[in-house]
């Protein structure tokens, strides 16, 4: 069966088709499995805004670096946030300048830190998509249960559905979407049905093995051929129609939708999750950042994030912009489009 799929995709000779994979893990797997060599050059695979670290506002980083350098304060973060540059510096540079920044591997480790050092005010950098929002909700439950007054969150949590709607509105050349597998575990496949109906585009959810991705591309191409626009869940081992209801309930309990700023794109309506007003005591200034930004001179990250070009088409790629010296947001994380293309091209 897979041989037939590859044969049909390889020999496709119709109109050019553009398929966007939103998840960075899908982008990595496409490279790892040599997917592009197995399909027609008329089927273009493009990356979308699938890296939450990459689309985090510079002003958010500025606030973290300010807290890191504030007396009796310490920023807690995941390692991939360390190299993200704000308007002035990164968290790595703030720590080198004497700021207090500690890398954690789990949000719940923050509770132990705060319990052991109650004289220090901890700020947890809560960055992510729907996949990590339930974990942050569990962290808040722990904070409340233990009555920790020295641990607060600074949130930059994004939601994928409004971003997909934005892409469908603004980027008419995208023909179909390889929907993000991890996010879909939380949201469920049903979350895409309104988008598919409104914009008349296929949304296909796939796992992360090469065969899964090839099968999903084949499904999208088959739908386009038959002029269909359906949601197809090809990751049924992990994704259900309704999603993870327990995780969704946790998100609904603690968070509400708000306008969100996406670095490289701008503001997308109702695309962020903010702590509800009744939990404001656990928030340390989220959402107060300025919603304006200019990309560095020559940087084409906006075009990369919106699927207009591949990273190799940016004049800064692999010249002055590298993982060790990231100019644009797409290069700051191994999950970013440019970071993945750098490692594999």
* DSSP character string of 28-89: HHHHHTTGGGGS-TTEEEEE-S--TTTTS-HHHHHHHHHHHTSTTEEEEE-GGGTT---SS-
pLDDT at 85: 83
Contacts of 107 (CB under 8 A, 6+ apart): 124, 126, 132, 135, 136, 138, 139
pLDDT at 290: 53
CA 330 – CA 328 distance, rounded (Å) = 6
pLDDT at 291: 56
Residue identified by tokens 């327990």 is 246
pLDDT at 295: 78
Beta bridge partners of 205: 179, 233
pTM: 0.92
CA 329 – CA 335 distance, rounded (Å) = 11
CA 307 – CA 45 distance, rounded (Å) = 9
Residue identified by tokens 């895409």 is 192
Contacts of 79 (CB under 8 A, 6+ apart): 103
pLDDT at 293: 66
pLDDT at 286: 82
Tell me the mean pLDDT per 10 residues along the chain, length 345. 91 96 94 96 94 90 95 94 88 96 93 96 96 96 95 96 96 96 96 97 96 97 97 97 97 96 91 95 77 78 92 95 88 89 91
Residue identified by tokens 């670095």 is 263
């Amino acid at each position: 069966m897979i041989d037939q799929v590859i044969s049909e995709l390889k020999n496709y000779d119709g109109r050019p088709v553009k398929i966007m994979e939103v998840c960075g893990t899908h982008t990595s797997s496409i490279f790892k499995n040599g997917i592009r060599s197995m399909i027609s050059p008329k089927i273009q695979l493009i990356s979308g805004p699938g890296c939450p670290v990459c689309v985090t506002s510079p002003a958010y980083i500025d606030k973290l670096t300010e807290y890191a350098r504030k007396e009796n304060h310490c920023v807690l973060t995941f390692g991939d946030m360390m190299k993200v540059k704000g308007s002035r510096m990164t968290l790595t540079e703030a720590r080198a300048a004497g700021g207090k920044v500690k890398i954690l591997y789990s949000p719940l480790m923050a509770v132990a830190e705060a319990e052991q050092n109650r004289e220090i005010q901890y700020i947890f950098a809560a960055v992510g998509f729907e996949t990590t929002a339930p974990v942050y909700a569990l962290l808040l439950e722990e904070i409340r249960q233990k009555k920790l007054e020295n641990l607060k969150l600074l949130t930059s949590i994004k939601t994928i559905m409004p971003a997909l709607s934005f892409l469908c509105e603004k980027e008419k050349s995208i023909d179909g979407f390889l929907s993000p597998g991890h996010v879909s575990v939380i949201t469920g496949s049903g979350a895409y049905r309104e988008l598919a109906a409104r914009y008349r585009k296929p949304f296909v959810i796939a796992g992360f093995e090469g065969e899964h991705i090839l099968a999903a591309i084949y499904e999208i191409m088959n739908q386009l051929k038959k002029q269909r626009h359906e949601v197809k869940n090809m990751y049924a081992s992990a994704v259900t129609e309704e999603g993870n209801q327990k995780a969704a309930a946790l998100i609904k309990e603690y968070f509400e939708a708000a306008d969100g700023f996406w670095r490289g794109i701008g503001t997308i309506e109702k695309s962020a999750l903010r702590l509800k007003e009744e939990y404001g005591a656990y928030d340390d200034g989220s959402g107060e950042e300025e919603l304006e930004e200019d990309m560095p001179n020559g940087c084409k990250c906006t075009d990369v994030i919106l699927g207009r070009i591949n990273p190799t088409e940016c004049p800064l790629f692999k010249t002055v912009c590298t993982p060790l010296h990231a100019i644009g947001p797409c290069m700051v994380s191994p999950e970013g489009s440019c970071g993945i293309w750098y490692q594999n091209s």
